[in-house]
Structure 1
Amino acid sequence: MPSTMPSHDAIILGAGAAGLMCAAVAGQRGKRVLLVDHADRPGKKILISGGGRCNFTNLHTAPDRFLSANPHFAKSALARYSPQDFLSLVERHGIGWHEKTLGQLFCDGSAKAIVEMLLGECERGGVALHLGHAASAIDHADGRFRVTLGGVVHDAPALVIATGGPSIPKMGATGFAYDLARRFGLKVVEPRPALVPLTLGGDDVLFRELSGVAADVVARTGKTAFREAALFTHRGLSGPAILQISSYWKHGTPVGIDFLPGRAQGWLREAKRAQPRSTLRRQLAEALPERLAVTLAERLGHADELSALTDRRLDEAERTLSAWSFTPNGTEGYAKAEVTAGGIATAELSSQTMQAKRVQGLYGVGEAVDVTGWLGGYNFQWAWASGVAAGQSL
């Protein structure tokens, strides 16, 4: 028979970004918190993020930079715990940081500093950490949750699901959060890989020969567009612009690429007047990597000098180059996805506290919930903000 430990005020499943933040906040409010993870170390995804320097937040955080079935859900938590709040915590711990492009904040040194900071905050709150054991049983009766770990039953009136999504399975990520939520009767928005490279097939396979070539582009799908770098890979398309657009992309729909963003209409006509003996390939090579310029010119079928091309054909080439259509045949899946879109339905949770509306004491935070941020620190900010919201409510 399993033995029973003294009860806790809250058991938090998952010692990632959201779980660590939630535990620290609740612990420092005087709650007796047990933080559990099946991994042998906390914060594994934090450690590999941002190339090992952890892109821990984004100064431009706003609710419209998050995807969710309910676009308003994230507003409350994000408003109550801002990037500046987390930055103040970072500075209080003496961690050096710097801003990169587009409001992204990184550690000057290793991401380990962020994990150590969060563990230090947990220690201040007297949080009990239980690592290296998966829960063998989770039960709920009489208003209490019982979690069996290594043959020992721990119980509490509150249980927080902070186990993330299945992205990056080599780090031990699984769909455990969704299975558990469904067991408690909560709806789950179908999860899918997000911030993930796209794969190409059919006629687009020829572009795989450009593997390693990158260019500044505008990538579009539907009404959504991002201007950042795109990278050709041996499987298809990647780079920040593509990762961003992947979260909005639906299977079977095209992705449009503007290879020359910012060019005024009629620029090829002007080039023809100024340099009639130039070619389309040469014009493209002035703005794009040579291999990409050659491939685009060949696909357009314009090898002649500009003077031999009519203005109409030049206009057509311009239009094609500004909206080159790729139809990806899929993504590289959870193995390469930075995050998971979908998750515990926001309709099931309070946006103020992250507590389930129909199950007293059950909470969902971070990536486990159907809130997915843009690339560049937004998902960490959601982890911190949702973790704080739950931690203040426990």
Structure 2
Amino acid sequence: MLKFDVVVVGAGAAGLSCAAEAGQAGLHVLLLDHAERLAEKIRISGGGRCNFTNRDAGPGNYLSDNPAFCRSALARYPARDFIALLQKHGIGFHEKHKGQLFCDEGSERIIQMLVDECAAGQVERWQPCRVEQLDVIDGGFSLQTSRGLVEARRLVVATGGLSIPKIGATDWGLALARRFGHAIVEPRPALVPLTFDPATWAPFAELSGLSLPVKVSVGSGKARTSFLEDLLFTHRGLSGPAILQISSFWTPGQALEIDLAPEQDLAALLLAAKAQSKRKLGNELAALLPQRLAVTWLARSGLDAEKPMPDFKDKDLQALARQLHQWQLMPNGSEGWRKAEVMRGGVDTRELSSQTLQSKRQAGLHFIGEVVDVTGWLGGYNFQWAWASAAACARGIAAELQATASEKQV
């Protein structure tokens, strides 16, 4: 039987980072994962370029039933700390959009950096390796794994969420949390394309592949949330950054409102065209919107695309503009876990320490990363939570175990 200071279950972004930092703090660390391949979510992120953080990441970019929880970890490990790690390894990066940082050399370079950091901390890594039984013992935990029996003074759960099951997502971390009496905020797919009733969507299905900048909103009053991003039409519904962002805030039964021309005053432009031009409505609208969208929209609205602009009443053009600025539509669901980038919900943070991510129900048990009820916006925020929660956990464990060792010496 092998004994470790820390066993980290889950070798994704949070697990690799936590194991590396704990190992470099002088702790004896074992990192294990049931999957054959390492850090698949990092590998596929950003189309293989890994959107590894966001320069502007802060508490306001995260959703949780306990919104204040993420403040401590994010403040103690901001984006600049992970950027410094890349610079230490000579890894180039670039900013693509709204603070989103991508690796110049591809995702594999980020993974290798984290593996190298683990090696620097003399972390043992077992993969693939499953935890077959876990018991609480005096002074820690006993884990019967597919590679043998181990004991650990601390156990860190970094098993991620339920999204993208084809790369190995499981509910192991959530099931373990429930076993120790933790409340779970209901998990649901987030950063996910939305779908619509096939009959309702039929007129728009032919627009699949069309993209344009929009403003998408959900909710009302103080609860209203909006994003100005690109929208992508698909055969089954809507995707693209705008929809992925709003999907984390959308709940079944809520309508979306989409402004298809957020930086234009369509009413003013159409009325000006009526006064100055004898062109057809279809031609004028195609000058303001993507042509395919203009054609589809007019066919759906019943307005004659071949009719000259002067032949329309002002109120008809104003109504057309209003419909395009305030397109109301009701999703019937989402593409689910197979297409979701992350999980919203998870282990209730009211039962975790914001300083160390340690359970308040079971001493020595920690939860980090996506398994926790902290969900970031699209754009590198979820990776930043992985790095920050991992650092808070590793540093907290190191400080507590070293303090215990000092007390014993005294």
Q: What TM-score results when the alignment is normalised by the length of structure 2? A: 0.92
| Contact kept in structure 2, 1:34 and 1:128, CA below 8 Å | yes
In the other structure, the counterpart of 2:334 is 331
In the other structure, the counterpart of 1:377 is 380
* One-letter amino acid matched to 2:165: P
| Contact kept in structure 2, 1:194 and 1:338, CA below 8 Å | yes
Measure, in 2, the Cα distance between the counterparts of 1:226 and 1:236. Answer: 18
Residues 229-255 of structure 1 deviation map (CA, whole Å, 9 limit, x = unaligned):
111111111111011111111111111
| Paired residues for 1:350-361 under 5 Å | 350-361=353-364
| Contact kept in structure 2, 1:195 and 1:375, CA below 8 Å | yes
Residues 171-225 of structure 1 deviation map (CA, whole Å, 9 limit, x = unaligned):
0111211111101111110000000000111423321121111111111111111
| Contact kept in structure 2, 1:196 and 1:238, CA below 8 Å | yes
In the other structure, the counterpart of 2:230 is 229
| Contact kept in structure 2, 1:61 and 1:378, CA below 8 Å | yes
In the other structure, the counterpart of 2:366 is 363
In the other structure, the counterpart of 1:86 is 82
In the other structure, the counterpart of 1:116 is 112
Of 205, 209, 214, which aligns to 2:206?
209
In the other structure, the counterpart of 1:149 is 145
In the other structure, the counterpart of 1:289 is 290
In the other structure, the counterpart of 2:241 is 240
Measure, in 2, the Cα distance between the counterparts of 1:238 and 1:284. Answer: 23
Q: CA deviation at 1:306?
A: 2.3
| Contact kept in structure 1, 2:129 and 2:147, CA below 8 Å | no
Measure, in 1, the Cα distance between the counterparts of 2:16 and 2:168. Answer: 17
Residues 258-278 of structure 1 deviation map (CA, whole Å, 9 limit, x = unaligned):
111121353322222222x23
1:282–1:143: structure 2 CA closer, same or farther, 3 Å change rule?
A: farther
Q: Does 1:262 align with 2:259?
A: no
Measure, in 2, the Cα distance between the counterparts of 1:152 and 1:133. Answer: 9
Q: CA deviation at 1:147?
A: 1.3
Q: Does 1:12 align with 2:8?
A: yes
Residues 15-48 of structure 1 deviation map (CA, whole Å, 9 limit, x = unaligned):
0000011111111111111111011232111111
Of 94, 97, 107, which aligns to 1:98?
94
| Paired residues for 1:311-322 under 5 Å | 311-322=314-325
Question: SS where residue 67 of structure 2 aligns?
Answer: coil
Q: CA deviation at 1:305?
A: 2.5
1:386–1:231: structure 2 CA closer, same or farther, 3 Å change rule?
A: same
Measure, in 1, the Cα distance between the counterparts of 2:136 and 2:286. Answer: 65
Measure, in 2, the Cα distance between the counterparts of 1:155 and 1:284. Answer: 69
Q: CA deviation at 1:166?
A: 1.0
Measure, in 1, the Cα distance between the counterparts of 2:118 and 2:147. Answer: 25
Measure, in 2, the Cα distance between the counterparts of 1:380 and 1:358. Answer: 27
1:20–1:63: structure 2 CA closer, same or farther, 3 Å change rule?
A: same
Q: CA deviation at 1:151?
A: 5.3
Question: SS where residue 75 of structure 1 aligns?
Answer: helix
Q: CA deviation at 1:352?
A: 1.2
| Contact kept in structure 2, 1:143 and 1:360, CA below 8 Å | no
Measure, in 2, the Cα distance between the counterparts of 1:279 and 1:157. Answer: 75
Q: CA deviation at 1:350?
A: 1.0
Q: CA deviation at 1:102?
A: 0.9
In the other structure, the counterpart of 1:199 is 195
Measure, in 1, the Cα distance between the counterparts of 2:62 and 2:281. Answer: 40
Can you give the 5+ residue segments of structure 2 that lack an aligned partner in the other structure? Answer: 398-410
Alpha carbon RMSD of aligned pairs, Å? 1.2
In the other structure, the counterpart of 2:58 is 62
In the other structure, the counterpart of 1:23 is 19
Q: What TM-score results when the alignment is normalised by the length of structure 1? A: 0.96
Q: Does 1:219 align with 2:216?
A: yes
In the other structure, the counterpart of 1:182 is 178
Measure, in 1, the Cα distance between the counterparts of 2:75 and 2:334. Answer: 33
Measure, in 1, the Cα distance between the counterparts of 2:91 and 2:225. Answer: 36
Residues 343-364 of structure 1 deviation map (CA, whole Å, 9 limit, x = unaligned):
0111111111111112111111
Measure, in 1, the Cα distance between the counterparts of 2:177 and 2:188. Answer: 17
Residues 148-177 of structure 1 deviation map (CA, whole Å, 9 limit, x = unaligned):
112511111211110001101110111211
Q: Give the number of equivalent residue pairs.
A: 389
Question: SS where residue 8 of structure 1 aligns?
Answer: strand
Q: CA deviation at 1:300?
A: 2.1
Measure, in 2, the Cα distance between the counterparts of 1:269 and 1:171. Answer: 53
